[in-house]
Homo-oligomer: A and B are copies of this chain.
Amino acid sequence: MTEINGYIQSDREEKIDVLNLASLEKRAEEIIPTGGFGYISGGSEDNWTLKENTEAFNHVQIVPRVLSDIDDPQTKTSILGINLETPIMMSPAAAQGLAHSQGEKDTAKGMAKAGALMGQSTYSSTSIADTAAAGNGSPQFFQLYMSKDWDFNKELLNEAKKAGAKAILLTADATVDGYRESDVINDFQFPIPMANLTKFSEGDGKGKGIGEIYAAAAQKIRPDDIQRIKDISGLPVIVKGIQSPEDALLAIGGGTDGIYVSNHGGRQLNGGPASFDVLADVAKAVNHKVPIIFDSGVRRGSHVFKALASGADIVALARPMIYGLALGGADGVYSVVEHLNDELKTIMQLAGTKTIDDVKHAKLLHK
């Protein structure tokens, strides 16, 4: 264990047994301090949308297909020309130092080992360069909380490009923080600094709550911000936090290179729909013009399958990987992805789908 400002961080480095992703939360709760665990696990208000995110996958069913003449299903796929071993991606979650002393560096290592796409957050505990280096050339996207301070934005984007980020995830659903009651109950402020804030801006986030940190960011995001960030970074930009066909079309109109369907893991607008419940409608509007990343609520291989079959190209999640990080560092993260990908492969075989492209064309039922 490592102590920093009185906060105890795990420093385990080992593969972990994963019975299933849902069961990791309880195990992680035992080793992540209360405030940090509340920040990671909690949603907004009474967690209605958070719970609905996972429950919604039961609104559709996968059709078992049995005379399909297939075996050995393959999870290889790609996005924006980047080849990946799996459609499973790490959502760009903040402050992973809350779970482990190596923070995002270990997450990046674990994702790299799995051949899976890593998302870096603006509010990472480790710096863009360090996290990129830990990934050792494996693909990473950088998530931007667009600041009111464009010098700050430029520096971050340059740093991300320099570190080899393949795309920018522009978070648009956090112009204010959702009302997260667990943070209020725990009177939670970040006990550890955020490396990018330390480096590029005045404060480093330490001793602040998520609300204060968001307050430093822009509260207004417009479609033409997409092109501005593309111009600055020279990288593809994917708008994150889309939950409606209308916003998907606005983003496409603004030149987005991808749509990231997410409700921020139920941490923002409680009382909004489950992210999965809007995916098909958004995908219909996007109509294959740009690729779609999906997150919020994914815990099972069958969830990954259902999201792909509903229009997603890449399926992201964060909490279970962070729990794996706390329980086993880089190898813990890898164990989680490996387990989830194994579940996915089993489902693919049983659904008669050999490739991710087959999955995308699979039929779902609404029984």
Interface 9-residue window, one of A105-113, A160-168, A247-255: A247-255
A2 at interface (Cβ–Cβ under 8 A)? no
- Minimum CB distance partner of A271 in chain B: B302
Which chain B residues lie closer than 8 Å to A173 at the CB level? 64, 66, 350
The answer for the CA separation of A270 and B20 in the assembled complex, in Å, is 13
Q: Chain B nearest CB: distance from A182 CB in Å?
A: 10
A277 at interface (Cβ–Cβ under 8 A)? yes
Checking B269, B278, B351 against A269 with a beta-carbon cut-off of 8 angstroms, the contacting residue is: B351
**Docked-complex contact B179 and A343, CB < 8 angstroms:** yes
Q: Chain B nearest CB: distance from A164 CB in Å?
A: 28
**Docked-complex contact B350 and A64, CB < 8 angstroms:** no
A242 at interface (Cβ–Cβ under 8 A)? yes
Q: Chain B nearest CB: distance from A67 CB in Å?
A: 5
Which chain B residues lie closer than 8 Å to A212 at the CB level? none
**Docked-complex contact A64 and B22, CB < 8 angstroms:** no
**Docked-complex contact A19 and B184, CB < 8 angstroms:** yes
Which chain B residues lie closer than 8 Å to A20 at the CB level? 45-46, 181
- What DSSP secondary structure best describes chain A's contact surface? loop
**Docked-complex contact A365 and B273, CB < 8 angstroms:** yes
A62 and B219 in contact, given A45-B343, A67-B247, A346-B176 (Cβ under 8 angstroms): no
A334 at interface (Cβ–Cβ under 8 A)? no
The answer for the CA separation of A222 and B70 in the assembled complex, in Å, is 9
Question: Interface code A194-238, partner B: CB below 8 Å = 1, 0 otherwise?
Answer: 000000000000000000000000111111000000000000000
Interface residues in A41-63 by Cβ distance below 8 A to B read 45-46, 48, 56-58, 61-63
Residue of A48, A263, A346 most packed against chain B (CB within 10 A): A346
* Cβ contacts A to B, 12 pairs, < 8 Å: A45-B302, A45-B343, A48-B58, A63-B243, A66-B175, A66-B241, A67-B251, A69-B222, A175-B350, A176-B349, A269-B350, A271-B300
What is the interface of chain A, defined by CB distance below 8 A to chain B? 19-20, 22, 45-46, 48, 56-58, 61-72, 172-173, 175-179, 181, 184-185, 218-223, 239, 241-244, 246-247, 250-251, 254, 263, 268-274, 277-278, 300-303, 305-306, 342-343, 346-347, 349-351, 365, 367
